[in-house]
Amino acid sequence: MYKRNQINDVLVKAIRSSHSRLSDDIILTRIKRLLDLDRKSRPPLGRITPPVFAFHDGEAAGSGRDVTFSAYSVFALFIALRLMSCGLPQGGAVDSLRKFREALEREHRRMTEVDIASLLDIEETVIASANAVGKEVLIAKGNVVEDAEKMVFFCIHADLEAVATSTRTVAGGDGPRPDNICRGKEELERRIALDAYAQSPTLIIELMNPFIQLNHLFSKTEPTRRGRRRGT
């Protein structure tokens, strides 16, 4: 679990690494608004199932207690920030991450089982030919996987005035998933073709590279203690 200062630091670095012209303050403001909106606009409490949050893992902690976030929560925040950079309003980003949380969280768990080291040594790739320092720079920038077949894509309808949107289900060895979570080039091309047929503009966020990037950046950051240090 990560503290708020850690996720702020990591997300600012991750977003800025994609040549974003956004200032740190704007990125931090967007993070705060996404988290606040996720709390304030939550679905009503149900008798059978708890509300599904986009980023939070449960109800708010009590007063004076540290709020921590899971690796998935930060991953979802990154996706939301990228969707907003593509023009999706923050409300649309929150709704999308809520709607597909179960599937995205399952995909996030699957990616934790991928042999990342093997992705760094694929022949004829930029990262394989880099030295140790160069590899670390590329990982920190999120430039690791070049082969589309080893990528994962999250596709979201960009038509904000559409009456309704639909997703199909893809059967897989690890269970069914919505077809807007595409593993590899072939699944992505199929999804794009379907959206094109439906005349639906689509936003596409690649997930494997930021997954590796965020894990690396977290390994380089430390939590900050709350309050003043004694003797100061």
Q: Which tens digit of pLDDT belongs to each residue from 190-232? A: 999 998 988 888 999 999 999 999 999 998 887 666 554 444 3
Q: Tell whether 57 is covered by a domain.
A: yes
pLDDT of residue 108: 96
Q: Tell whether 70 is covered by a domain.
A: yes
pLDDT of residue 214: 95
Q: Tell whether 62 is covered by a domain.
A: yes
Q: Tell whether 186 is covered by a domain.
A: no
pLDDT band of 176, cuts 50, 70, 90: confident
pLDDT of residue 232: 39
* Whether the predicted pLDDT of 44 surpasses 60: no
- What's the mean pLDDT in 81-97? 91
* Structure tokens, 58: 């449960």
Q: DSSP letter string over the chain? A: -EEHHHHHHHHHHHHHTTT----HHHHHHHHHHHHHHHHHTPPPP-SSSPPPPSS-SSSPPPTTPPPEE-HHHHHHHHHHHHHHHTT--HHHHHHHHHHTHHHHHHHHHHHTTS-HHHHTT-TT-HHHHS-HHHHHHHHHHT-----GGG-EEEEEE--TT-S-----EE--TT--EETTEEEHHHHHHHHHHHHHHTT--EEEEE-HHHHHHHHHHHTT-----SSPPTT-
Q: Tell whether 168 is covered by a domain.
A: no
Greater confidence (27 vs 59) lies with 27
For the entire predicted model, the pTM comes to 0.86
Question: Structural domain of residue 131, as residue ranges?
Answer: 2-144+209-218
Q: Tell whether 181 is covered by a domain.
A: no
Asked if residue 213 lies in contact with residue 139, where contact means CB atoms within 8 angstroms, the answer is yes
Greater confidence (130 vs 228) lies with 130
* Whether the predicted pLDDT of 107 surpasses 90: yes
Q: Tell whether 173 is covered by a domain.
A: no
Q: Tell whether 134 is covered by a domain.
A: yes
Total domains present in the chain: 1
* Whether the predicted pLDDT of 22 surpasses 80: yes
pLDDT of residue 46: 52
pLDDT of residue 222: 75
pLDDT of residue 186: 94
Which phi and psi (to 5°) does residue 61 adopt?
A: -70, 155
* Whether the predicted pLDDT of 66 surpasses 80: no
Q: Which pLDDT tens digit goes with each residue over 108-118? A: 999 999 998 88
Greater confidence (103 vs 62) lies with 103
Mean per-residue pLDDT over the chain, rounded:
85
